Amino acid sequence: MSDRFIKFNDEQLDAKQVMMLQDLARLLLKNEQTQVKIQKFPYYDPINNTLITSWFWSHRPKEIESAGLKTDVMLAAYGYEMMDESIVNEVLHEDEFAHPKLYHQIFRLLEDMRVFNHIKNERPSTAKLIDLRLQTRLSYTESQIKFYKTKTVYTDLLFLYLERAFLSQNFFDIPTIHPQLDDILNHMFQYLPNFFQNETSEDNMYLAQRIMFQIDDMLTKDMLNEYYHLPRRVYEAIHDLTFEDIKRTDASNVDGQDNTNEESEAEAETAEAETNAQDSKSEGGAYLEMELHEGENSDVIGDNDTAREGDSTDDMTDIMTKKGRGSESTLDNEEGGAVGQNAAFALKGINNNVEIEWKVPDIEPEYLSEYQNAKNDVQFETKDLIQIIKKTIDREHVDERHNLTKGRLQRDLTNWFIDDQYKLFYKKQDLSKTFDATFTLLIDASASMFDKMEETIKGVVLFHETLKSLNVKHEILAFNEDAFEADDNKQPNIIDEIIGYDYSTMEKNGPRIMSLSPQDDNRDGVAIRVASERLLRRSHNQRFLIVFSDGEPSAYNYAQDGILDTYEAVEMARKYGIEVFNVFLSQDAITEDIEQTIHNIYGQYALFVEGVENLSSHLSPLLKKLLLKSF
């Protein structure tokens, strides 16, 4: 696992915020597979089914940032529906004007204003957010005007004055730029209010052309900056597909692949390169699945049709008809299950090409003595924890309820004389000494764990020995991704079954814990989905998933999407009643930024261990609390 943390313009990715935007995008676009990314300009890419929001709103007050991002989603979603693709392509390929950048940005400005006016009319409750957005943009535009007044970049200054007029809806204060342009501006500002009569993209194209016909010959340079963006390659790709082609294209048929992906990715990379924000660069095109209609294959299981466990009447053909190789990876062990049977935990999107490989490490002869040494190192913590739990159980077990109307006759018969109901009996609490719970421990076995694995093993031994002594069934899995074999077509993920569920209370399997060793990368979202799906097969009332890690996810083409994918996996597991905890391991001081990143993924259910030699002392209270909770 990498010690690097995902940042946009030196800012950490807020997974919860992006997931909120993703929910909004899916609602507006009526597409459950839409993904949200943060780049330079807001737009929707239907080819890759991804909606882009802008990092323009970063480093601003929370209220403004939230309003800006939400209105970005609305602008992109409604803009895709309202903007005529053929008109946009006509604008993009217009070669009559000498300053195409200015023409394109004027057209996009007009379209954005038309879209926002439509949204405010259709959804009046959004007016406050949109007005806050426009006011923030207006303040930014004013600052840019002050800057360019001192320069000779008249094209940018002209556009900024036009933008200010539309944002403020003030066409009476006519600006002065240059003697040769002032008369033209006086005439132009007389017909600009005609914009409010425009109802289509074609109307705005004609208005933009009317502006350009007046000023194009007067300008010497095209625009220096880009304030509004038309994603050329996206619209060109849309144009190449007929309406029926788009409707019929489904990820279940094309396995998430499309020949326009490269062009769309190039569009995103072009926008990012212009900002020199390399930290936020993402090439994870496989994450952006195309699911533009609800499919031709009616027997494919939908994501919303799986809020139950399978039964004997289910057709296994239907169960296994899932897109993505990850959902076809099977575990040939005693349980005989297949990864991806529950579509809620199916491997898709960015994990579409993940291949799960299960291994059961051999117990080498030297592991026996090493395991005994590890047990000795944590024997006091283990014994104390077991004794505390047993004493708590025994105390609750012998608790008695007195003064009952039936039961065993108690020694104190005073109630015979003072109570008409003759409450003379008592009962012992009829409590079971068994725990209705099961645990899965997920261990990050990536390369960055090399300086923490020795102490981590001791914590795992404490975990295993305690649960084994209390006869609590559990499972211990280690996960990593083969970095040398991973490419665009496949990402092999290895899951080592260290302690199997069915044999977890037996003595012979413990030494296998000593096989834990750091490997390559880690794709946390996949491991959590696999472990969660296995936990759902258990009949216990409470299911606990504890993830040992030392940083954020880091794997092939996982970058910024890894945090979102892991967060989504955690939230889905909790939705199904699995309690997910993270134990964060660090040999160095844990900074506030690191804590915030982990909290973004796991919420408040995270335990931070600064100095892994303290792991056992931190793990004991957590295990005690969870065990007593399940009693």
pLDDT at residue 245 is higher than 80: no
Dump pLDDT digits (tens) for 381-391. Answer: 888 888 877 77
pLDDT of residue 313: 41
φ and ψ at 354, to 5 degrees?
-75, 135
pLDDT at residue 319 is higher than 80: no
332 versus 568: which is more confidently predicted? 568
Q: What pTM was estimated for this model as a whole?
A: 0.62
- pLDDT-wise least confident of 146-155, 414-423, 464-473, 559-568: 414-423
Dump pLDDT digits (tens) for 426-463. Answer: 776 554 456 778 899 999 998 888 888 888 898 899 88
3-state SS track over 495-532: EEEEECCCCCCCHHHHHHHHHCCCCCEECHHHHHHHHH
In the chain the domains, ranked by start, together with CATH numbers, are 1-82+241-291 (no CATH), 84-124+131-233 (no CATH), 318-356 (no CATH), 378-428 (no CATH), 437-630 (3.40.50.410)
Mean pLDDT of 504-526: 89
Give the DSSP letter of residue 589. P
- Alpha helices (runs of H) in 412-558, residue ranges in sequence order: 415-418, 453-469, 524-535
DSSP 137-199: HHHHHHHHHHHHTTSS-HHHHHHHHHHHHHHHT--SS-----HHHHHHHHHHHHHGGGGGG--
Name 589's Cβ contacts closer than 8 Å, sequence gap at least 6. 610
Dump pLDDT digits (tens) for 254-291. Answer: 444 444 455 555 555 555 444 443 333 333 333 333 33
For residue 399, name the pLDDT band (cuts at 50, 70, 90): low
Torsion from C-alpha of 264, 266, 271, 272, nearest 10 degrees: 120
Mean pLDDT of 164-190: 87
Tell me the sheet residues that pair with 608.
584
Torsion from C-alpha of 177, 183, 189, 190, nearest 10 degrees: 170
For residue 339, name the pLDDT band (cuts at 50, 70, 90): low
pLDDT of residue 356: 92
pLDDT at residue 614 is higher than 60: yes
pLDDT of residue 255: 45
CA distances from 287 to 248, 282, 475, 562 (A): 20, 10, 30, 10
For residue 392, name the pLDDT band (cuts at 50, 70, 90): low
pLDDT at residue 128 is higher than 70: yes
Name 202's Cβ contacts closer than 8 Å, sequence gap at least 6. 84, 87
3-state SS track over 240-277: HCCHHHHHHCEHHHHCCCCCCHHHHHHHHHHHHHCCCC
Q: Which residue has the tokens 């923030």?
A: 136
φ and ψ at 442, to 5 degrees?
-105, 125
160: which 2 tokens?
């900024």
Dump pLDDT digits (tens) for 6-25. Answer: 444 445 557 778 888 888 99
- pLDDT-wise least confident of 58-67, 109-118, 577-586, 618-627: 618-627
Distance, in Å, from the CA atom of 251 to the CA atom of 327, rounded to the nearest integer, reads 14
